[in-house]
Amino acid sequence: MTEEQQAGLARFLDTAYGFLTTGYKEPARYNFDVCNVSPAAEVVPGPELGGSPQPCAGVGGRGDDAAVCRKMSGNSAPLMEESSVGNGTPLPAESAVENTMAELEEVAACVRECTLCGLCATRIKAVPGEGAQRPLALVVGEGPGADEDSSGRPFVGAAGRLLDQMLLSIGLDRNRNCFIANVIKCRPPGNRDPLPEETAACLPFFERQLAALRPPVILTVGKVPVKTLLGTDEGITRLRGNWKSYRGIPLLPTFHPSYLLRDESQKKFAWEDLKALCRRLAGIDPGYAAETAELRRARGI
């Protein structure tokens, strides 16, 4: 039996089991609200994600790791000199980054070794980010929580499961076509908001990832990333759903999944934002448009 046939059989048995045990359920999922938080697809980072723990020396052929890390986190790399907190400097027309995978691995290795702010003293694991090398969307969160701190992967706790569900509802998946990162790569103790000096120390890593990934669209979740990237103090309730731009890339702020877990009544607004993102991506990428045509029709997007 081929893998495809096996998957089809598994789906059939799953549906039949659900039917026998809980009765018929409408199979179409019109938005992530009806999906609820229940079993998100297991998300396993691909090799390009630095998902399996890699010792720094294992990131091939980088020579003097410490020197590379100094370069990447300091002000010496050209893209970092351009970077500033704010909305001004666009990415260069031609990417200086020729090999995205190597670049992402280098950033990840440097993040794991980083001691540029006090968070290195309290972290268990740094969380560089993970996802597709050529993402349709770069999803940007605040910073790691306890689950992420212990696993070294972004958005793996309850909020992460909801985030995966939200993304899947519009055909996005960190294993295939989006990348998930945080503006802060190490957990602030007690999940407090990061301090300005912590954000300033960490932002060059994000900038480097952005320059390597060159996503057509950025989705920020929660107030910290939008405040960090756009330099605004406006509340997320006002900002969400309004397209902005960061370094020339369209950026859509929406609510953080943790907030949605605390207040489910806000999910309908997040769903509006996801629909807007889906429409925008369908206008940008013909492959995504074709792939999500049925989903968009069924979900009224």
Indicate the residue among 174 and 208 with the shorter CB distance to ligand URA.
174
Query: 73 in the Ramachandran plot: left (φ > 0), alpha (ψ -120 to 50) or beta?
Result: alpha
- List the one residue from 145, 171, 188, 250 that touches ligand URA (CB under 6 A): 145
Provide the CA 3 distance to its chain's centre, in angstroms: 29
Which residue, judged by CB position, is nearest to ligand URA in the bound state? 141
How many residues sit close enough to ligand URA to count as binding (CB under 6 A)?
13
Is residue 155 part of the contact set for ligand URA (CB under 6 A)?
Answer: yes
DSSP letter (8 states) at residue 108 = H
Strands 130-131 and 249-254: unpaired
Least separation in angstroms between CB 39 and ligand URA:
19
Is residue 138 part of the contact set for ligand URA (CB under 6 A)?
Answer: no
Is residue 199 part of the contact set for ligand URA (CB under 6 A)?
Answer: no
Least separation in angstroms between CB 250 and ligand URA:
21
Is residue 103 part of the contact set for ligand URA (CB under 6 A)?
Answer: no
Count Cβ neighbours within 10 Å for each residue of 206-236 and write b for 16 or more, e otherwise. bbbbbbbbebbbbbbbbbbbbbbbbebeeeb
CB atoms within 10 A of CB 17: 10
CB 79 within 8 A of CB 106: no
Rg, the chain, Cα only: 19
Least separation in angstroms between CB 184 and ligand URA:
8
CB 139 within 8 A of CB 192: no
- List the one residue from 105, 148, 164, 198 that touches ligand URA (CB under 6 A): 148
**Cα–Cα distance list, 228 to 38, 203, 240, 248 (Å):** 31, 9, 15, 16
Interaction residues for ligand URA, span 160-179 (CB under 6 A): 160
| Site stretch for ligand URA (CB under 6 A), options 36-44, 84-92, 140-148, 229-237 | 140-148
Least separation in angstroms between CB 204 and ligand URA:
19
Indicate the residue among 97 and 104 with the shorter CB distance to ligand URA.
104
Binding positions for ligand URA, rule: CB under 6 A: 127, 141-145, 148, 154-155, 159-160, 182, 222
